């Protein structure tokens, strides 16, 4: 699974992190997520600096609690 998550980061987030990610709501407002099977990658984008910060990645059952 680690290789699939790494591949998603390298292919999707370096290409267009806004297009591929879905915005989160509530306590995680300002963050986005990418789905990789049952796993999620939570990240934020600094458009002005052209930077993507991956906050965390993990199974969808626990990732949102872990991210807050």
Region at 30 (left for phi over 0; alpha for psi -120 to 50; beta for the rest): left
11-23 pLDDT, tens digit per residue, is: 999 899 999 999 9
> How confident is residue 64, by pLDDT bands cut at 50, 70 and 90?
confident
Cα distance between residue 42 and residue 34, in whole Å: 7
Cα separation, 68 vs 66, whole angstroms? 6
Q: Domains of the chain by range and CATH? A: 2-67 (3.30.2310.20)
Total-model pTM: 0.88
Q: Which residue has the higher pLDDT, 23 or 64?
A: 23
């Amino acid at each position: 699974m680690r290789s699939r998550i790494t591949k998603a980061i390298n292919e999707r987030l370096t290409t267009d992190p806004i297009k591929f990610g879905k915005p989160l709501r509530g306590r995680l407002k300002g963050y986005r997520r990418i789905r990789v099977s049952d796993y999620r990658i939570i990240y934020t984008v600094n458009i002005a600096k052209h930077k993507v910060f991956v906050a965390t990645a993990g199974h969808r059952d626990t990732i949102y609690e872990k991210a807050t």
